[in-house]
């Protein structure tokens, strides 16, 4: 019996096999979880995600535009009809228009700022609101953040501001949902080479700097993020809520 045998989770944000969401999903599967997945609308996204999850035969794999409450409702309705309830939710979604990640933050457009904030931060609120009625026995909600929400990372721009809003949303949601025995936490990952990171100016330098500066002299591995996601989504972290847990080989504690 695994830690999550008999437990059901919903995963939003798997893009390919280099996704943090996929690393966590693999750790969840290894402990016996049943997982439902969403993917971005469109055939190419569906193909990529379906190819990854097919060996596990998920019962729910649906498109979801997190800017649409109707899309979110359809996904949660399918989860309810298929499983009857939900034990945990993994939110690993972020987006900013590529042009907003070039040049200074000062030049961020109004439209780009609103779009990035809607998808990267507000979507956690919207998805949590829809999931809570399915978590009748309590549950765990985890989102994925980055240190650029706490400190300036040149080139991260509007995404840093979105992560700051995301992390504070975690704290407010933890307060709102705590009496329902639903915990809400964030995993703040060190820089990872993912589909999203490809659009960040100077990302290679960011990786090299993080490895040099971190306590452990290296960057975090996908498997390590998976294990931490498992911890936050399982009963091992039953007393933990409202936290942003850094998994960055100690990068965030070094001031020099």
Catalytic hit among 146, 147, 231, 251? 146
Catalytic hit among 29, 83, 147, 156? 156
Residue 146 CA: distances (Å) to CA of 7, 48, 150, 152, 172: 28, 25, 8, 11, 18
Per the structure block, which two tokens stand in for 8? 């059901």
CB under 8 Å, gap of 24 or more: what pairs does 69-77 form?
69/126, 69/130, 71/41, 72/126, 72/127, 72/130, 73/130, 75/10, 75/36, 75/38, 75/130, 76/10, 76/130, 76/131, 76/134
105 is catalytic: no
Per the structure block, which two tokens stand in for 155? 């080139």
122 is catalytic: no
What positions carry a catalytic annotation? 146, 156
């Amino acid at each position: 019996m695994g830690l999550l045998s008999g437990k059901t989770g919903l995963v939003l944000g798997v893009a390919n096999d280099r996704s943090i969401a996929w690393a966590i999903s693999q750790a969840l599967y290894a402990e016996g979880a049943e997982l439902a997945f969403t993917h971005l609308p469109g055939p190419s996204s569906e193909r990529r995600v379906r190819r990854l999850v097919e060996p596990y035969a998920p019962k729910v794999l649906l498109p979801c535009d997190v800017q649409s409450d109707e899309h979110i409702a359809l996904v949660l309705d399918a989860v309810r009809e298929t499983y009857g309830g939900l034990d945990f939710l993994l939110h690993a979604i972020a987006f900013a228009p590529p042009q907003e990640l070039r040049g200074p933050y000062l030049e961020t457009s109004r439209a780009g700022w609103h779009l990035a904030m809607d998808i990267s931060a507000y979507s956690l609120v919207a998805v949590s609101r829809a999931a809570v009625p399915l978590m009748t026995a309590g549950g765990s909600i985890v989102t994925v953040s980055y240190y650029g929400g706490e400190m300036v990372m040149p080139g991260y721009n509007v995404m840093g501001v979105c992560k700051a809003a995301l992390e504070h949303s975690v704290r407010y949601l933890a307060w709102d949902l705590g009496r329902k025995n639903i915990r809400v936490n964030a995993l703040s990952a060190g820089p990872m080479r993912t589909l999203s990171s490809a659009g960040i100016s100077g990302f290679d330098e960011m990786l090299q700097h993080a490895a040099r500066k971190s306590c452990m002299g290296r960057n975090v591995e996908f498997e390590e993020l998976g294990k931490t996601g498992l911890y936050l989504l399982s009963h091992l972290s039953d007393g933990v809520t409202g936290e942003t847990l850094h998994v960055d080989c100690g990068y965030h504690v070094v001031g020099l």
